[in-house]
Amino acid sequence: MRIRAALPALAGAVALTGTFLSTPAQAAGGITIHRAYFDSPGSDTGSNASLNGEWVQLKNTSSAAISVNGWILKDIANHRFTFPNVKIGAGKTVIVHTGKGTATSAHRYQNRRAYVWNNTSDTATLTKANGSRVDSCSWTTRDPSSKYC
């Protein structure tokens, strides 16, 4: 809505080209929360394997690598995971596990000893380092163990 409202004013600006106006930022894609596996398979025993069975998957839907340096993934209770200075490749995914593990380009670990994503209901929110919201995903008991966002 804001972008649409701004267009008439922008269209009058001499510096802008038709090419710019016909290429909205959304068409280029970006980082999205693709899936949340909020209820780890089996009994929630609190073992590291079970903690790592709980995760949130991000996906880069754009055609270029995107840096997520300092970006934050958090739940409603404000448990935060801050990304290091890494990029997510074009079309690639990264799974952020709750437990401990060795990070790779496709897997990151919060290194926690307790679950983060509530089985009953919760919201995963991804923000940039400056706090601006990138995406969020909510679920309730009506969803099965995971949710495609």
Instruction: Write down the least CB distance from residue 45 to Ca ion, Å.
Output: 9
Whether the Cβ atoms of residue 96 and residue 125 lie closer than 8 Å to each other? no
Task: Give the contacts of 45 (CB within 8 A, at least 6 positions apart).
Answer: none
Beta strands in 1-149 (DSSP E): 31-37, 55-60, 66-67, 72-74, 80-82, 87-88, 93-97, 107-109, 122-127, 133-139, 146-148
Q: Among residues 44 and 135, whose Cβ is nearest to Ca ion?
A: 44
Interface residue with Ca ion among 40, 57, 98, 125 (CB under 5 A) is 40
Whose CA is closest to 31, among 106, 126, 145, 96?
126
Contact call for residue 118 and Ca ion (CB under 5 A): yes
Interface residue with Ca ion among 32, 122, 137, 149 (CB under 5 A) is 122
d(CA 147, CA 140): 9
Residues near Ca ion (CB under 5 A), total: 7
Ranked by CB distance to Ca ion, the top (closest) residue is 75
Q: CB under 5 A: which stretch of 19-27, 57-65, 74-82, 97-105 binds Ca ion?
A: 74-82
Interface residue with Ca ion among 30, 44, 92, 121 (CB under 5 A) is 44
Contact call for residue 54 and Ca ion (CB under 5 A): no
Binding site for Ca ion (CB under 5 A): 39-40, 44, 75, 77, 118, 122
